[in-house]
Chain A
Amino acid sequence: MTKLQKREPRILHRNPIRNIILLGIVVGVILPMIPQLVWSISHRWYFPEMVPTEFSMRAWEYVGNPSTKVTRAFFNSLIISSVVTIIGVVIGLPAGKALGMYKFKLKWLVELIILAPAIVPPLAATIGIQVIFIRMGVADTMTGVIIAHLIPTLPYMIVSLSGVFANYDPEFEEQARILGANKAKTFLFITLPAVFPGIVTGSMFTFLISWGQYILTILVGGGRVITLPILLFSFTGSGDNSIASALSIVFVLPAIIILFVTSKFLSGKSSGMGGFGSI
């Protein structure tokens, strides 16, 4: 990319087909997110009106009201996704390092096992294990939901991390050790900064997969653990477009914040996406 950027940027209308494609990307990405903005502040908007006949803040008042379920659902979602991400990093770092940096016997099998939940739908496994969850008493609890969310997220965390560890030079670690750094310091000042893009990408995937999870939460949480997707599902089903729209805006905010933070880690050479090309 750096090679290309040194050239003069082309004027936009030199290649009409490419401009149509680029316009398609811009319109295509933005369009399905516009209706929620308008619906969330509309009160009456029947067919065939092009703009709402009556505006109201009813949906936002409902969403912002601390006595409704929304606030609790928001914090439940936040707690579950954050804990899942932290556990994911802790489990994923050593595994990513082992897979990214070393060759060993049966490595293909280890890779296969770790990737399996990203490919085989986790719903099948979670329904199977629900019997155990009920017996252990973690069904219908946040703990159970957090455990269940580990299944679909761990592969993404580990693939992102093994991707950066594959480009990681262990020489630096040795240098630090020789210069007198202990294990903790070496990890903190050498390893961690070097694999940071992988941690960011992996955490992003983990947080978002957990954040958007509906079926595993309803299955294990049994309707007792209310998260944003569960509210969103029930309002969409009930046909209240205004509240569903306002909720979906609240639901999407963390994703947008995360994208602003992680955008630069998604592309480029040290990107955590690299690992996905070599599965």
Chain B
Amino acid sequence: MKRLSLLLMLAPALLVIIALFLGGLMLGLLQSVSYMPVIGLNDFSLDAYKSMFTDSQFLGSLALTFGLSVITTFLTIVFAIITALALRKTFIGKRIVNFLYQFPITIPHLVIAIGIMLLFSQSGYFSRVAHAFGFIKSQSDFPILVYDDLGIGIVLVYLWKQIPFVGLIVLSVLQSSGNDFEELARSLGANGWQTFRHVLLPLIIPGILPASIICFAFVFGSYEVPYLLGKPYPAVLSVLAYRLYEDTDLNSRPEAMAMFVFIAVFISILVLVYKKIVKTISGRND
């Protein structure tokens, strides 16, 4: 294959992504340091970053966003593995369950956010069920699960969406590695847990790491679901940054841009660390 034709094949995709994505990030960076002559910003300054890192709202949002992403990713992995293992064997009705399992991948976040709201909010269905059984007297007795401090509603939406996404990848990893290792372990006397811990898990984990990174990054940078189901204060980083960006006071724009740059840099560092870890691990095995 000639180098030139390879380049031609890649050119359109690279051009679009470099111009729109990397270009956009660069422009965001310039706006965050107040250097953008086109829109009348001429003086380079790091004030936006200084005020961002001393802003207690930002720090609160950062803690919330990071916590939400870690918890969601962890629970996604756990449930993806559990459900994939349950789906792997043959059983009656497998086709229907398999079909349902793929369902969440295609359903937009917004729809499920509304569903979670209608089920879990204080006037939602579970609250009514609790009332009917006499557990609560009024809706305010029902625990706050949506618009709450911990972001439970947000986590539920992401789990619903992401478990099948990671779970399908677990299934494809298990399929491609076959049953040989597992049967061997069993025949050597390993019990169910030992087989899982020492045979299946080491097969699964490397396969789902990339998807887990995608999940983490997605939750970390997302806007829609936390906007709908989260508390206004503290809001997740994207919501806080977008609110600042929309602010009528144009002076808060650089700080908004600084937050977006922070999100991008934070996730990039995370991915680089991950790549480094993968490289070390695979280097050891070679």
Residue ranges of A at the interface with B (Cβ–Cβ < 8 Å): 1, 3-5, 7-12, 18, 21-22, 24-26, 28-36, 39, 46-50, 90-92, 94-95, 97-99, 102, 104, 110, 113-114, 116-129, 131-132, 135, 147-148, 150-151, 154-155, 158, 204, 208, 211-212, 214-215, 229, 232-233, 236, 241, 244-245, 248, 251-252, 255-256, 258-259, 262-263, 266-267, 269, 271, 273-274, 276-279
Once the chains are docked, how many angstroms separate the CA of A83 from the CA of B99? 28
The verdict on A236 contacting B228 (CB below 8 Å), with A124-B261, A263-B99 known, is yes
The verdict on A4 contacting B221 (CB below 8 Å), with A35-B115, A266-B102 known, is no
Shortest CB distance B73–A (Å): 13
- Give the residues in chain A near B17, CB-CB below 8 Å: 113-114, 116-117, 151, 154-155
The verdict on A273 contacting B20 (CB below 8 Å), with A91-B13, A94-B12, A128-B31 known, is no
The verdict on A36 contacting B118 (CB below 8 Å), with A3-B179, A94-B12, A121-B264 known, is yes
**A94 engages B108 (CB within 8 Å):** no
A contact patch SS: helix
Shortest CB distance A57–B (Å): 19
**B14 engages A114 (CB within 8 Å):** yes
Q: Is B46 an interface residue (CB 8 A)?
A: no
Once the chains are docked, how many angstroms separate the CA of A104 from the CA of B6? 9
**B220 engages A121 (CB within 8 Å):** yes
- Give the residues in chain B near A262, CB-CB below 8 Å: 106
Q: Is B245 an interface residue (CB 8 A)?
A: yes
- Give the residues in chain A near B13, CB-CB below 8 Å: 91-92, 94-95, 114, 154, 158
**A128 engages B217 (CB within 8 Å):** no
Shortest CB distance A103–B (Å): 9
- Give the residues in chain A near B28, CB-CB below 8 Å: 124-125, 127-128
Once the chains are docked, how many angstroms separate the CA of A272 from the CA of B86? 23
Chain A: CB-nearest residue to B16: A150
Q: A33-B111, A151-B24, A229-B108 given. 18 additional CB < 8 A pairs?
A: A3-B179, A4-B89, A25-B83, A25-B97, A25-B100, A33-B115, A50-B132, A95-B14, A113-B18, A117-B17, A121-B267, A127-B28, A129-B23, A129-B27, A132-B23, A212-B109, A252-B108, A255-B106
Per-residue A-contact encoding for B207-222, CB less than 8 Å = 1, 0 else: 1101101100110111
- Give the residues in chain B near A215, CB-CB below 8 Å: 223-224, 238, 242
Once the chains are docked, how many angstroms separate the CA of A194 from the CA of B74? 37
**A259 engages B108 (CB within 8 Å):** no
Contact of A119 among B18, B90, B125, B217 (CB under 8 A): B217
**B257 engages A127 (CB within 8 Å):** yes
Report, as a range, how many residues of chain B touch the other chain. 35 or more
Q: Which of B47-55, B56-64, B164-172, B193-201 contacts A (4 or more CB under 8 A)?
A: B164-172
Chain A: CB-nearest residue to B265: A120
Q: Is B26 an interface residue (CB 8 A)?
A: yes
**A252 engages B8 (CB within 8 Å):** no
**B169 engages A132 (CB within 8 Å):** no
- Give the residues in chain A near B87, CB-CB below 8 Å: 22, 25
**A18 engages B86 (CB within 8 Å):** yes
**B110 engages A128 (CB within 8 Å):** no
Once the chains are docked, how many angstroms separate the CA of A78 from the CA of B127? 37
Q: Is B150 an interface residue (CB 8 A)?
A: no
Q: Is B175 an interface residue (CB 8 A)?
A: yes
Please list 14 pairs of residues, one from A and one from B, whose beta carbons are closer than 8 Å in the complex, sorted by A's number. A4-B88, A29-B101, A33-B112, A46-B123, A48-B139, A116-B22, A125-B20, A127-B257, A128-B25, A131-B27, A151-B20, A154-B17, A245-B118, A256-B106
The verdict on A32 contacting B115 (CB below 8 Å), with A18-B89, A120-B268, A204-B106 known, is yes
Contact of A31 among B92, B119, B217 (CB under 8 A): B119
Shortest CB distance A225–B (Å): 17
- Give the residues in chain B near A233, CB-CB below 8 Å: 110, 224, 228
**A32 engages B168 (CB within 8 Å):** no
Once the chains are docked, how many angstroms separate the CA of A12 from the CA of B91? 6
Q: Is B284 an interface residue (CB 8 A)?
A: no
Shortest CB distance B153–A (Å): 11
Q: Is B173 an interface residue (CB 8 A)?
A: yes
- Give the residues in chain A near B188, CB-CB below 8 Å: none
**B111 engages A94 (CB within 8 Å):** no
Shortest CB distance B76–A (Å): 13
Once the chains are docked, how many angstroms separate the CA of A94 from the CA of B124? 49
Shortest CB distance A231–B (Å): 10
Once the chains are docked, how many angstroms separate the CA of A30 from the CA of B104? 9
**A273 engages B169 (CB within 8 Å):** yes
Shortest CB distance A212–B (Å): 3
Shortest CB distance B254–A (Å): 12
The verdict on A258 contacting B31 (CB below 8 Å), with A12-B93, A94-B9, A267-B172 known, is no
